[in-house]
Amino acid sequence: MEFTPEIMREIYSRIKKQAPEHTFVSRDPFWMLITTVLSQRTKDAETDSASIRLRNRFPGVRDLAGADVDEISRLIYGVGFYNVKAREIKEIARILLEKYSGSVPENREELMSLPGVGRKTANIVLAESLGKPAIAVDTHVQRISYRLGISISKDPSKTEEILESIVPVDLWIGFNPTLVEFGKSICRPVSPRCSICSISEFCEYFKRSQKSIEKNR
């Protein structure tokens, strides 16, 4: 199947109708950045709890920049690699304070120069907090793209490039969180709910599954 912008608009429309609404702890650029760094290799519930505990104790950039790393570690205990992330987020706050007057930079390259910030994190901050069109490819977006047949690459940056070439730009903001919720509720890593999926007619994974079932009858 050729995934044209028109087909991608239809696919996204169906996904958006079926996926639960995604909620963010905060859309403030600084806290979006910190929360997304915390989220790496961590479940959403633990990420959100850790972010809230941290923000309640150190509500601003200056507060976090001056915080004790051991206290940060205790507050975010439970997230993956919490000791490493404690040092990273304190350093992020320090750099933002000293280099950007406490503001979050609004371009990908500067964001990616910060400790612990990769392309996915930068794109999430750009799109979901700063309102700048970007597509963040995490495990959910990668899996859904692969199953549909949009991308056969396991490289997120390559998948991002493909998606940017076929997804209309006006859909980029909100694209990641919508697919994340769809990936958690419908197109799950294990036991995807293909029988109720609204986009199965476009999906190579579903087609292969159906052929396998028919073959084994």
Which residue reads 């964001």 in tokens?
Answer: 111
**Distance from C-alpha of 173 to C-alpha of 176, rounded to nearest angstrom:** 8
Residue 93: C-alpha distances to residues 52, 191, 205 (Å): 16, 40, 43
Residue 77 phi/psi, 5-degree rounding, is: -55, 130
Which residue reads 């280099």 in tokens?
Answer: 99
Residues near 26 by Cβ (< 8 Å), separated by ≥ 6?
32, 35, 51, 55
Q: Which residues make beta-bridge pairs with 79?
A: 77
Catalytic center residues:
120, 138
Using DSSP, state whether 79 is helix, strand or coil: strand
User: Do the beta carbons of residue 24 and residue 36 sit within 8 Å?
Assistant: no
